[in-house]
Structure 1
Amino acid sequence: MTRPALTDRPPAAPDPPRRAGRASGPSRRRRRLGVLVTITLFVLPALVLFTLLVLAPIALAAYTSLFKWNGLGGLPQNWIGLDNYTRMFADEVFLGDLRRGGLLIVLSLVIQLPLSLGLAMLLNQKMRGRAFYRLVFFAPYVLSEVITGVLFTMILSPEAGLANQILGTVGLSGLQSSWLAEPDTVMMSLFLVMTWKYFGFHMILYLAGRQGIPKELGEAAAIDGAGPWKQFRHVTLPLLGPTIRISVFLSVIGAIQLFDLVWVLTAGGPIHSSETMAVTMFQFGFKRSQIGYASAISVVMFLISLIFALAYQRFVMRRDTQGAITTMGDQR
């Protein structure tokens, strides 16, 4: 008999047994389908509400802005194309709205937000009655815009207002004024009310951001010889960057869409000197029944807000959003 040839190859290993828990192809497809159905059921109600309450009104406003329409008699019929937009950018009142909105934005960024930041840094220190001061400064934000407007209408009243009475008592009668009734003083009066109403909100934002900064960083800077100002400039301020950027964003968007306070305080007067885009839109839409023109103003307001929001997120808040996405990805 011939012996089989010997080789150096080891015997073939047996195929590994399949794990009992390993899902087959159809099972994986069923699982993915179940996950997709679950996600759809949770997202669909929010998507329907967003479509009905946000997307549909935007589309309707854009559509009606192309017509001359008073809001009555069914759907608009008198097509005028872009005439409402042409009229808008030739209207001195609307151009004044843009200038006044820009003024409020600049004043908010230069005065209101630094004031809020300074108070936040002050109230972060150990001091007696700190919780009480925080409550007092934040309380105006809790009040509604209507209550705030009515309150300051009485305070800034030309005859019996508290502001003029205090100025007369301390011997500054020459500074008394018809605050909300004079074109030269109405915008500064309006900004004063805005600052009183909203500075507490920004103060709380900065205070929360400041308390999120580890104390060890300030202590290390102090050991290296940095005084309070250098600690604030080189440690606290850079680490408060994300909070400051959010605060700036909210302040700008709020100034663009400002309506309640202006309407209660002055209704846009005197002689359109305190009117904003939202007030002009309300005047034409609900007072003069020019729905097409009011819709055009609302579309421009929306586009200004959208362009600013996208540009701000793209060029200013880019690092913040990327950091948040990276952190979320690391936690998965």
Structure 2
Amino acid sequence: MYTSVFKWNGLGGAPTDFVGAANFGRMFSDEVFLGDLWRGLVLIVLSTTVQLPLALGIAMLLNQRLRGRALYRLLFFAPYVLSEVITGVLFTMILSPDQGVANRLLAVAGLESAWLSDPSSVMVSLFLVMTWKYFGFHMILYLAGRQGIPEELTEAARIDGATAWEAFRHVTLPLLGPTIRISVFLSVIGAIQLFDLVWVLTGGGPAHSSETMAVTMFQFGFKRYQVGYASAISVVMFVISLVFALGYQRFVMRRDTEGAITVMRDQR
């Protein structure tokens, strides 16, 4: 916060060129940063409407009595164990326009794509990689939450004539509410702070079309040595994350936190 109000290259001792709010004014007139905000919002919407429902559906499927379900759980969770750097390098090779496995397989149907090198497809490609990498984590959360729900409740609903969908809609889903709310929170915060996967995959390109706030901050702070401006970006990232976290806890997770406090008091 201190360095965000200075024009400073990060070298030569403490900053002395005070510019006040100029870095923040520059930020909100910068098309790249405004694009970062938009791309972050797109990733948040896609994560909460595509990635998390997919994870929930697979978790419900793997909660059934399936042959080899332990192996399926392992396979779906394994990508999350890989580091972001390894994932980025792996998909850089898979999605290479010329030598990548993806285009070789899709060439049969004439569906080749430029993937990460085309501004019109790079965000979709990035989201596909994000989904592959992170949905296993959310799947495990939902699976753990589902296994904490007594089977007697769903059996009672079916005895009363509820279909499998109705039992899920009116019994399982409400009881999974706290788990889903935690999952959404982690997904949104992760999208706001996304850096390493984007940096390895695209470096923010082409032409800033996949850049996030964290990537822009890194570019200015460690590539262009405009540390004061990069610090201002980091302050905005922090404020956005903090406001969302406090608002989400206050209005969305209020019942969950109040319930946890009540349980702890009862245990005393």
What's the TM-score bracket when you normalise by the shorter of the two chains?
Answer: over 0.9
The question of 1:282 aligning with 2:218 is answered: yes
AA aligned opposite 1:269: G
CA distance in 2, matches of 1:94, 1:233: 40
The question of 1:155 aligning with 2:94 is answered: yes
Alignment of 1:63-142 (within 5 A): 63-142=2-81
CA deviation profile, 1:15-56 (whole Å, cap 9, x unmatched): xxxxxxxxxxxxxxxxxxxxxxxxxxxxxxxxxxxxxxxxxx
Counterpart of 2:103 (choices 142, 164, 189) is 164
CA distance in 2, matches of 1:216, 1:153: 48
Percent of aligned positions with the same letter in both sequences?
A: 79
Where does residue 192 of structure 1 map in the other structure?
128
Where does residue 187 of structure 2 map in the other structure?
251
The question of 1:239 aligning with 2:201 is answered: no
CA distance in 2, matches of 1:295, 1:323: 38
**RMSD between aligned alpha carbons?**
0.4
Across the two proteins, how many residue pairs are aligned to each other? 268
Deviation at 1:119, TM superposition (A): 0.1
AA aligned opposite 2:243: I
Structure 1 stretches lacking a partner, 5+ long: 1-61
CA distance in 1, matches of 2:244, 2:184: 12
Structure 2 stretches lacking a partner, 5+ long: none
AA aligned opposite 1:83: A
Deviation at 1:223, TM superposition (A): 1.1
Deviation at 1:161, TM superposition (A): 0.2
Structure number with greater CO (CA < 8 Å, separation at least 6) is 2
Where does residue 146 of structure 2 map in the other structure?
210
CA distance in 2, matches of 1:331, 1:127: 38
CA distance in 2, matches of 1:107, 1:188: 10
Deviation at 1:295, TM superposition (A): 0.1
CA deviation profile, 1:176-235 (whole Å, cap 9, x unmatched): 111100000000000000000000000000000000000110111111111100000000
CA deviation profile, 1:215-269 (whole Å, cap 9, x unmatched): 1101111111111000000000000000000000000000000001000000000
The question of 1:326 aligning with 2:265 is answered: no
